[in-house]
Amino acid sequence: MPTELPQDRAAQMERCLESANDAERLARETGNDGLRRDYELLAQSWRRLAQSHQYSGHLDQVLEEVRAALRRRGPGSNR
């Protein structure tokens, strides 16, 4: 099974991770406890979104492999 993600999905993941890093940096730099918690939650959300992009990419790969296997079996195959 290929492990590479399509270029656009990889770019989306990278943007999410960069945003998470930015939010974590802001959390460290703020002196406001409320803002710190908000930035930490925001960072977690960005990381979850990056994981969702990765998981979606893996699902796409699995579905493509299933489709390819079905095409190889040909029409009318009952296996």
- DSSP letters spanning 20-49: HHHHHHHHHH---HHHHHHHHHHHHHHHHH
pTM of the shown model: 0.72
pLDDT at 19 over 90: yes
Predicted pLDDT at 7: 74
Between 40 and 3, where is the model more confident?
40
Residue 56 located in a structural domain: yes
The two tokens of residue 37 are 């918690």
Residue 21 located in a structural domain: yes
Domain that includes residue 16, residue range: 7-67
Residue 39 located in a structural domain: yes
Number of domains observed in the structure of the chain? 1
* φ, ψ (nearest 5 deg) of residue 28: -70, -35
Q: What is the mean pLDDT of residues 13-41?
A: 97
Angle between helices 33-73 and 7-29 (to 10 degrees): 170
Between 29 and 6, where is the model more confident?
29
